[in-house]
Structure 1
Amino acid sequence: MRHQTREAQQAREAKLDALHAKLTESVGTLVSGDDWRRALEFSAKFRSRSFNNTMLIYLQHYEAFQAGRVPSATPTYVAGFRQWQTLGRQVMKGQSGYGILAPVTARFASRTPNNAESWRRLGRGERAQPCETIRTKLVGLRAAYVWDVAQTDGDPIPEPPAPTLLSGQAPLGLWEGLAAQVETHGFTLKQVPDAAAIGGANGITNFSTHEVCVRRDMDEAAQVKTLAHELGHVMLHSPEARTGDNAAARDAALHRGIAEVEAESVALMIGAAHGLDTSAYTIPYVSSWASSVAGSDPVGVIQATAERVRNTAVRVLDQLDTTQVGDGDPPGLDRTTPTRTAPERGARPTVEPQVVAL
């Protein structure tokens, strides 16, 4: 039995090693502005998943396309085997799933949740004590598999409405939604006549005066893209980030190039999620700033930055009441699985909601 357990563990580790190698390969190709733009545009359409898993899905689907197993080079919707079954579809015979990195979680309980040392891990089937708080934490990764809709057949997928834009127009309600978020962060939004009013820039974020300025002599699309860029600065690049615990945030605060790439990338993802044409966006050469972070591997810097960009863009998009493109999940799929804990006699345990992006 012990021998079988060791073999199973080795098999799991081999799968994870293979996925990490594939991930490094895919992220390592992001060495130009166009590569970065395409990766983020794709990530915007699959924003329900982590940047790492987005890249894994993209690469493996393209390999499936080259092998003739799927009709298109770009995936549309992806889900797990049983998730497709809940939507009345089945994975077709001979179709291999795309390996992704799935979280392994465990339950922890504490009577004094503010004390980091007080948390104890609950065993399988173990119940929490009365008045304890239960928290789910990430303890590792495992290999999991998803399939594109092109690899399945069955009931049709209902298509939600997609945003439609004319040249130069901004997505309906996007300016108002972004402006509200800027103000929520404690900044005053001002529209200035032209670039000369703000030193030749399209927009500027001033952390000293807590002002965001955007020039109004551009078309609507350019104005809303600039506002999204400045909101990215507001959320990611405060002076406090220089001394914070997050290494990626410190790097961005200390390296102007990284900060500009992050802000423009947030704007790109927000625009792409609304069908806004991003072909004219100017994104600096990725390898130049990634390589400039002393003591860091460029691939690691790209991954950390991309995940920060994705998380920020998703936070913005989740607060917008606008029509957006899909997020990579099939319409109608409910990915939330509530965790139930049997109550003890007396006071019930408190369960803290936890969300882990795959």
Structure 2
Amino acid sequence: MTTQARPRATREEKLEALQQQLSESVAALVTGEDWKRALTFAARFRSRSFNNTMLIYVQHYSAFDEGRVPEPTPTYVAGFQQWLSLGRHVEKGQHGYGILAPVTARFASANPSDEASWRRLSRGEKPGFGEIVKSRLIGLKPTHVWDVSQTAGEPVPEMPRPNLLRGQAPAGLWDGLADQITALGFELRLVSSAATIGGANGLTDFLAREVSVRMDMDDAAQVKTLAHELGHVLLHAPRANVISTDLAADATLHRGIAEVEAESIALMVGAAHGLDTSSYTVPYVSTWAASVAGKTPVEVVQSTAERVRTSALGILDKLDTPKVGDGNPPGLDRDALSHRAGVAPAIIGTRRDGSVLGL
């Protein structure tokens, strides 16, 4: 093995070990009872329409203004019986928020392509032989929901939340990642807060070819976010007239897989520079991996391993930043050893100042 190839091989081994460590950390988290309780709790709730979301928000804010709830923004909302099924009850004196619930009915048809052939089934009526049955929205009815702050009882299980990184970023890493993003034809935008980009830490807009990162975080969190967005740029940009692998197509169609890949890349790029992102990455990856139907979270992480490792290596190879050791003893003068052996150092690139970077 050449002197140039050995450090890359060592780096690949370290990235592979990091991927395995991530899988094990995700497995430890998602197999715990707290995680199962949190998922079970979340599964009991149903997404609300935009109109109902607005109704809930306005009525909750009014309740806050009147001193009936402690916070201006609602969190978990559910019906009276739903709260009872979760071991909680609506407190005396709390008024529910009126929303519009869908009313559906069953329709049957022996010839589904003919709209006129569909007939409404009465309560308890069974379809005829060979008929197809579908439920259709026939109207709306008023109903009420209550926010968790209006209830008491069993504690609400919380999903693990990522903790933003604190402290300084590794020297030169922001510039190196930013250079790769702009080299791929994306403009880098620095925004004042998460509110500017829909509550996210960073955002990649493929149509506008822009990458945005919020600046009201510590440097370490900003550079981790930039590595995450670079992962999206490299792996998830729509590519016309290109036959993608199944996994690449899955990542494009399923946000859960895309987020697992991008955040895993951020972990590896950070780790190569001595930056531990696990307090943010493991809960983040676990939550998104759990959203992929038909696979366990660990299976999702493992299935993305090769794409993640290859992409992380490509990013690291383009960075001239100081990185953690590559397996050689500290203080080893490779150039001196190479000259003593009569071998010239291999040139693998140049620094930004134009000087040669040898190995």
TM-score range for the pair, normalised by the shorter chain length = 0.3 to 0.5
- State the TM-score, normalizing by the size of structure 2: 0.44
- State the TM-score, normalizing by the size of structure 1: 0.44
Of structures 1 and 2, the one scoring higher in RCO (CA 8 A, sep 6+) is 1
- Choose 1 or 2 for highest CA Rg: 2
